Amino acid sequence: MRLIPKGCFWLSLILLLGACQSPATGGGAAPARPALSNDKVAHAASPAGDEATARPPVAKKIPSTRHYHGKTLQDDYLWLRDDSYPEVDDPAILAYLEAENRWFEQQMAPLQPAVDILFEEMKGRIEEDQEAVPWDDGAYTYRWRYVEGSQYRLWERRPRAGGDFTTILDESVEARGHEYFRLTTFAVSPDGRRLAWSADLNGSERSRLYVDDLDTARRYDDGLDAINGDIVWGADNTTLYYTPVEADGWYTARVKTHLVGAAPATDSEIFYTPDRTLFLTISRSQSRQYLFITQGNHQTSEQYILPLDEPGAVPQLVAPRRDGHYYDMDHGHGQFYIRTNDQHVNFRIATAPEQTPGPSHWHTLLPPSDDVYYQKFALLDNFIAVEEMSEGLKRIRIRENGGREYHVEFPEAVYAAALGDNPQLASDYLRIDYQSMVTPRSVYDYRPADGTLTLRKRQRIPSGYDRDAFVTERLWATARDGARVPVSLVYRRGTPRDGSAPLFLYGYGAYGSGEDPGFSAVRLSLLDRGVIFAIAHVRGGDEMGYQWYLDGKLEKRSNTFNDFVDVAQFLVAQKYAHAGRIAIHGGSAGGELVGAAVLQAPQLWAVAILNVPFVDVLNTMLDDSLPLTPPEWQEWGNPIVDAEAFDVIRSYSPYDNIAARDYPPMLVTGGLNDPRVTYWEPAKWTAKMRALKTDDNDLLLKINMGAGHGGRSGRYRQLYEYAEAYAFALHCLGVNVTESSPAAP
């Protein structure tokens, strides 16, 4: 099982107060709101210490000029990339980041009452003793749960034959003494006697491996402290397959076997690839008979298979890699199942004999379709379940072994259904995760034998929740090139639909990762204050099929940004919003989207929140020493060797297109240990933006000095970061959290 995808006091009187307002727009103005700061200044970085300062830190400029394809690239803030990365120990860099963090804390101080109120609201919606629906795996039934007040989960199991649950791993105990803790793998041996687990202890996505003997309570810590989290047990209950992180960066190039209790120096290497343009991962088949070794990116893949009862066997290649061909596999019912786009962009599902799994033996089980995109599948005893997308909505298809085929019926017209935790082949039911923008996260068990759909659990909101008090809609915006872009909205019933309500617009649009119209308890703090929340399902995701993804990458990347802006303008025209009173939010590649939108149409936004934003696209794609750059070239292009790719990326890369003009208030976050979007991207964006912007709006940067891409760990610490972001956004939208009570649940 691989575990992977956020005191009341006021600012000192010596602080100069400025304006936190949007650029002027036609057709009316946003409501007046209290100011936080005067950000239009230039001076040296803030001094160390706790004294309040009147001006934000300003990064020094060190001109750097480089030449590519006969063109000059100048960057005054290239120095913020520490040459010793992933170690960050340059005193000047650390001083600048710490000064920005002090400025963030100081400028957020007036909003501390609002942060506290929002945090308590969000915390009140959490089930303090939340627990997962138990699942069967082998001879045991497993579950995880939270103890009231705990930041982390407690993992338990009991024999399926009967008995009480007993603890097998307590994350809270393991997290003691660590600023950051994230469980990355939880894998029980085939005989149920040993638990292999790994944890990331600083956000760098390098995990340490432990093995616990569940019978004797003995722990094996063999010194494997830099793995990427992929762990598969061999059939002998002693061999572990894993992928170590290479010493010179965050990437994997090898698959190794490790014997529990042995020294890592004795581990055997069973696979190696020198190709850094591909990600390398391992997984186990549903039948538990095969190890899958996968090399690939988001568009091309190849897989190797190895019997788990033959640790000395040589991995067998199934289908050699060719550009644009993506396939993934599973095994069960005595044959292989393959999801492949060899015949159609939206994939097909095929089968192949166990002894001859190659492409010439692939026989179509579910044919491709222009209207249906097959995303993933699960194998169970008497049927295959397929998670698919059609017209922007996710649904579940059942194909019984006898050939009968149909979709699971759900009670709402707009929803998100996904394959849940189905760890073993021997099951007569399918676990499904279900939610909508008004229905809290739910777990269903579906039994094809009698067609019953049983609700096992629905997220409970302890402070109260009435789904009938909210309205959700699916709209279609027309982009500037004529594409129909789906938009999901949710708002409290009675919220004005005359353009006077503030709007919160979210987007991502990259890597073929679509945004489901799902539920968020955190979001209720916005809806209860009259905010309309919208998701723009822009190109670059896969909501409208795999082609929707292809139409938002490489030379078509600007479609993603244009879609987002066009959705906002559509919502203004439909009177769901007013120009200049829209908050926008995105993280990672979604932060790139928000950055591009800020540059393209700054007059539309009241505030922009950029979490770990991938805004320095060109410089990152030019830096092949970064471990994640080579495999990302298939997504963005390789500007090192391709002059056209250089020009395309340069044309939209947010950092490279900052100009002297007014911009909306911004909150930018990053993580010092982030291996995906390195800390210097949000730092450089902030430094350059502050130097060039001509407005007085707030620009705040928060760098988590002990965390990575996902922000701080622990459920309450993540909530607090949401509370900070929402307090800032609501302030800039003109909503005074401390003077207005949220609507009653």
Q: Which two tokens stand for residue 282?
A: 């391992």
Distance from C-alpha of 227 to C-alpha of 251, rounded to nearest angstrom: 10
Rounded Cα distance between 502 and 584, Å, is: 11
- Cα angle, residue 123 at apex, residues 121 and 129 outer, rounded to 5°: 140
Dihedrals phi, psi of 332, to nearest 5 degrees: 180, 165
Write out the catalytic residue numbers: 588, 674, 709
The one-letter amino acid at 439 = T
Residue 676 sits at the vertex; the CA angle it makes with 671 and 680, to the nearest 5 degrees, is 50
Q: Which amino acid is at 534?
A: A
Distances (CA, A) of 60 to 63, 107, 707: 10, 21, 25
In the chain, how many H helices and how many E strands? 12, 38
How would DSSP label each residue in 430-479?
A: EEEEEE-SSS--EEEEEETTTTEEEEEEE---TT---GGGEEEEEEEEEP
d(CA 418, CA 458): 15
The CA distance from 250 to 120, in Å, is 37
* Strand 699-704 relative to strand 666-671, pairing: parallel
In sequence order, the 6+-apart residues with CB closer than 8 A to the CB of 404 are 398
Decide: 735 and 726 in contact? Cβ < 8 Å: no
Residue 166, number of CB atoms within 10 A of its CB: 11
* Contacts of 237 by beta carbon, 8 Å cutoff, 6+ apart: 189, 190, 191, 193, 194
Q: Are strands 582-587 and 503-506 parallel, antiparallel or unpaired?
A: parallel
Closest by CA to 312, choosing from 353, 359, 259, 362, is: 259
Report the DSSP beta bridge partners of residue 307. Answer: 290
**Which phi and psi (to 5°) does residue 303 adopt?**
-130, 145
Other CB atoms within 10 Å distance of the CB of residue 35: 17
Please work out, in degrees rounded to the nearest 5, the angle formed at the alpha carbon of residue 422 by the alpha carbons of 418 and 426.
140
Element (H, E) at 533: strand 532-536
Phi-psi region of 477 (alpha: psi -120 to 50; beta: other; left: phi over 0): beta
Residue 573 makes CB contacts below 8 A (sequence gap 6+) with none
Residue whose pair of structure tokens reads 């928060």 in the numeric block = 702
Q: And the tokens for 99?
A: 């000064």
**Beta carbons of 609 and 588 less than 8 angstroms apart:** no
The DSSP letter of residue 650 is H
Could you tell me the two tokens for 283? 């997984």
| Encoded tokens for 214 | 């569940």
Q: What is the 3-state secondary structure (H, E, C) of 30-86?
A: CCCCCCCCCCCCCCCCCCCCCCCCCCCCCCCCCCCEEEECCEEEECCCHHHCCCCCC
Q: Is the peptide bond before 86 cis (omega within 30 degrees of 0)?
A: yes
Rg (CA), the chain: 26
